[in-house]
Amino acid sequence: MLNKTMSRNCVDFIDDAKITSIIENTREDAGRVRAIIAKSMEKKPLEVEETAALIAAESPELVEEIFNAARQLKKDVYGNRIVLFAPLYIGNFCVNDCKYCAFRRSLRSTVRKTLSPAETIQQVEALEDVGHKRLILVFGEHPDYTPEFMADTVRTVYTVKKGKGEIRRVNINAAPLDHAGFKTMKDSGIGTYQIFQETYNHAMYQECHPSQTHKGDYLWRLDGLSRAFESGCDDMGIGALFGLYDWRFEVLGLITHSLHLQNIYNVGPHTISFPRLRPAHGISLDQKNLVNDHDFKRLVAILRLAVPYTGLICTARETAEIRREVMQFGVSQIDAGTRLELGGYSEKDRKGQELKREQFQIGDVRSLDEVMGELIHEGYIPSFCTSCYRLGRTGEHFMEYAIPGFIQRFCTPNAMTTLCEYLEDYASDEVRKSGFELISKELEKMTDEKQKKMITERIAEIRIAGKRDLYF
């Protein structure tokens, strides 16, 4: 039985009228926008009102300045790494009735399935076979998907070792739990626990999530990650489903949520996701609030400037072209080789999606190797690094951006060694060749001779001695 005790400082921190009034009363002001950009460039998180000022900047020149600043901030703060992961849907039974989702309970024609432990192993093996190291497990909300079941699934995933493959980090996207449930999840060794608020607007939330369903409880969901933190899960992912309500409201909702976590727990969210609503089996939705590509790029750039320390995730819901563009503005994680149908990763010969088995239609259907090839071609270092969370560098201790030189000392070397593993074990000939060229170029760029030597030695250990999982 769910214990409906809220977090210690539980409060509904989303004031719809206030957010709406900030949006309506903020006018474009070039001088203010430039001052706010200057603050972001010092890596200081923005307040809600400052974020609203960036949103109000609509003239092409100012929008271009925001894009350029986001590009620059991304380079300064993050370097050229992109972290790769894959989603793994474990079960799509659901007691909720979210009006945008093909898994909603009233949709009888959806093909329902929960992977058995043996089927989960089969899927994980298929993912390891192509080189994945980081997964996010996705669950509907259902009495069968108890914290114990989800925790057992996490443990099962970590045991699967095929060839040189293994999964080193398992994240979760599932319903909000009670304190004990989050503790059970933490004890199973998860990385991030992701919960998307879907829409921060109360009225729209109620419209999308019938009140007699679990998910109909706005505050239980809003408070979810606070309970997670209090239960030891200090690695939290927030998100909004863009397209349900005014995108400007959702951006300010995300920033309010992020500031709330930061103020109460001294730890902001580790990641922010901004999925855009996609067509899905059995769904016909009001198109009125769909976000166009231009505004989508703006919102990614604005989020980058507003929360310099937070990872930004852009999933395969977006096309390859849009992902390419928003990666420049600071997206730090993407999924690749994505299959949403339950059991889909082992169905090697099937082309295209089978929407009755899936949550929504995706925009980027390329394989992991194709995505790796493109990233390398564009000068990014694709990374499968999992070092920080395994060394306990999470929550308050997560210093990736905060400590000067951290990225050069840890992130870039770990990206290079995990890329090297991928190139040795899984890459096509072409990707292998271009990947090793990229590694050589990155080594040439390094000015710290001691570090260069250390990384060169690690790469040799991987390539010649066959060692794996070496991290800084």
d(C-alpha 188, C-alpha 170), whole Å: 10
d(C-alpha 255, C-alpha 312), whole Å: 13
Beta bridge partners of 335: 85
Q: What is the DSSP string of 249-309?
A: HHHHHHHHHHHHHHHHHS---SEEE-PBP---TT-----TTPPPHHHHHHHHHHHHHH-TT
d(C-alpha 264, C-alpha 212), whole Å: 30
- The only residue of 81, 104, 227, 323 in contact with ligand SF4, by rule CB under 6 A: 104
Shortest Å, Cβ 24 to ligand SAM: 26
**CB proximity list for 196: less than 8 A, separation 6 or greater:** 173, 238, 239, 240, 241, 273, 275
Residue among 103 and 329 whose Cβ is closer to ligand SF4:
103
Shortest Å, Cβ 217 to ligand SAM: 12
Provide the sign of the torsion angle of the four alpha carbons 400, 401, 403, 409, taken in this order: positive
Shortest Å, Cβ 112 to ligand SF4: 11
Please tell me whether residue 133 binds ligand SF4 under the rule CB under 6 A: no
Residue among 54 and 195 whose Cβ is closer to ligand SAM:
195
Shortest Å, Cβ 110 to ligand SAM: 12
**CB proximity list for 259: less than 8 A, separation 6 or greater:** 45, 47, 48, 268
d(C-alpha 472, C-alpha 411), whole Å: 8
- The only residue of 13, 67, 89, 103 in contact with ligand SF4, by rule CB under 6 A: 103
Are 468 and 460 within 8 A, CB to CB? Answer: no
From the list ligand SAM, ligand SF4, none, which binds 84 (C-beta under 5 to 8 Å, kind-based)? none
d(C-alpha 421, C-alpha 304), whole Å: 30
Residue among 103 and 193 whose Cβ is closer to ligand SF4:
103
Residue among 170 and 381 whose Cβ is closer to ligand SAM:
170
From the list ligand SAM, ligand SF4, none, which binds 360 (C-beta under 5 to 8 Å, kind-based)? ligand SAM
- The only residue of 74, 169, 215, 281 in contact with ligand SF4, by rule CB under 6 A: 215
Please tell me whether residue 153 binds ligand SF4 under the rule CB under 6 A: no
Shortest Å, Cβ 371 to ligand SF4: 26
Residue among 163 and 279 whose Cβ is closer to ligand SAM:
279
Using DSSP bridges, classify how beta strands 81-91 and 134-139 pair: parallel, antiparallel or unpaired: parallel
From the list ligand SAM, ligand SF4, none, which binds 104 (C-beta under 5 to 8 Å, kind-based)? ligand SF4
Task: Kindly list the residues in this chain that would bind ligand SAM in the complex (CB under 6 A).
Answer: 100-101, 138, 140-141, 173-175, 195-196, 198, 241, 275, 277-278, 280, 283, 317, 359-360
Positions that interact with ligand SF4 (CB under 6 A): 94, 96, 98, 101, 103-104, 140-141, 215
